[in-house]
Structure 1
Amino acid sequence: MQLRLEVIVGSVREGRFGPTVAEWFVRRAQAHTEFDVGVIDLADTPLPADLTVTTGVEAFRARLATADAFVVVTPEYNHGYPGALKTAFDNAKFEWRAKPIGFVSYGGLSGGLRATEQLRQVVAEIHMVSIRETVSFHQAKKKFDANGETQDGAAIDAADRLLTQLAWWADALRQARAEIPYPG
């Protein structure tokens, strides 16, 4: 049975570069046949900042609940991650627990790595397993051609290693959750 992977596009800014990076990563993930890949674009996902439960939040939670693994595609804004990502994490609780998450970041000189490191703290608090391998694009807009492809060998290799680790953790944690409910 395939593992359900949800790729979350974290930027909601007008003119954002996130969809280019996300679409590239989704193509990489689809090449790993152990995954059934979906995309949650936070720009198209109405989540209230005040954390009120709406029908949109309920639909978001239901989708998270069916996932076995997640990958967040995040830019770095002002040495941090986008507020839309924090809102997304805060609008659900149990749906995240005991599931693995990987990170694909992009930005200027840091390639979004500071955003990723901050997100690792957030996901640990909500009982997720952070995958060690990450994908990072430094000077991201220069790394992709007009077709949304990259020749960045380090990123291509990192994506494949991330997906291999993510599949291992997703399978192990899905089996564990099925045998013994997570105690958190």
Structure 2
Amino acid sequence: MTAFKILAISGSLRADSHNTALLRAAQKFNTGLDIEIYQGLREIPPYDMDLDNSQRRPAAVAELRRRVDEADGLLIATPEFNYSIPGVLKNAIDWVSTDWTKTEGLPLLHKPVAILGAAPTNFGSVRAQLALRQVFVWTESDVVVKPEVIAFRSHERFDDEGNLVDEATIELLQGLLTALTAKIERAGRR
């Protein structure tokens, strides 16, 4: 059996992002999943309902929708900005969550999703992950509940090259990936 295909999205555009580093760690420490890190978040334009149909949708958005639709599951790493998720991440989700024509389908509907995050504060990305979970209630995505991977004081969990070195976080990450795999299997993907 081929590995489940996971599209991993970092909500951070920063080159040395700990959230993107978490996704690289997921690739390294994963449980046999095919994890691809999405690189096009910066290219997604602000959401515009006037353009949100298959004839007018920007190419970068159409590509993201296709990739989300084709993935067996999503792995989303979110930083925390102003007690919530970054605007670029919410914007991308807005583009992927709609079907105004009722003919294109909803790529996030029942999609298995795992959430994790890193931030330099003592609370990490707790509030951002909560806000992201609320967004996925509306899209009716199938979100992994436990374990929660909250890399608080993230600068202490990575080495100078951006490698995740904190054993407790690695163990939680592996547990999250195992839980995501179980959700995909229960959903009967493929």
TM range (shorter): 0.7 to 0.9
Which one of the candidate residues 87, 111, 118 is aligned to 2:124? 111
Residue equivalent to 2:35: 37
Identify unmatched segments of 5+ residues in structure 2: 52-56, 98-105
Quick one: distance in 2 between partners of 1:14 and 1:50? Answer: 27
Residue equivalent to 1:182: none
Structure (1 or 2) with the greater strand fraction: 1
Query: Secondary structure at 1:160's aligned position in 2?
Result: helix
User: Within the alignment, does 1:27 sit opposite 2:31 as a pair?
Assistant: no
Moved more, 40-49 or 137-146: 40-49
Identify unmatched segments of 5+ residues in structure 1: 179-184
1:141 aligned partner, one-letter code: H
What's the CA shift string for 1:52-110, capped at 9, x where partnerless? 32111111111111001111111111111101111111101311111111111111111
Residue equivalent to 2:82: 78
2:167 aligned partner, one-letter code: G
Give the aligned CA root-mean-square deviation in angstroms.
Answer: 1.9
User: Within the alignment, does 1:57 sit opposite 2:61 as a pair?
Assistant: yes
Quick one: distance in 1 between partners of 2:8 and 2:128? Answer: 17
The answer to whether the Cα contact below 8 Å between 1:12 and 1:42 also exists between their aligned partners in 2 is no
TM-score by length of 1: 0.85
Quick one: distance in 2 between partners of 1:102 and 1:164? Answer: 10
Quick one: distance in 1 between partners of 2:60 and 2:164? Answer: 34
User: Within the alignment, does 1:146 sit opposite 2:160 as a pair?
Assistant: yes
Quick one: distance in 2 between partners of 1:124 and 1:96? Answer: 10
CA shift at 1:44, angstroms?
4.1
The answer to whether the Cα contact below 8 Å between 1:42 and 1:84 also exists between their aligned partners in 2 is no
1:3 aligned partner, one-letter code: F
Residue equivalent to 2:141: 128
User: Within the alignment, does 1:165 sit opposite 2:179 as a pair?
Assistant: yes
1:128 aligned partner, one-letter code: S
CA shift at 1:156, angstroms?
1.3
Moved more, 10-19 or 92-101: 10-19
Quick one: distance in 1 between partners of 2:96 and 2:124? Answer: 28
1:4 aligned partner, one-letter code: K
TM-score by length of 2: 0.83
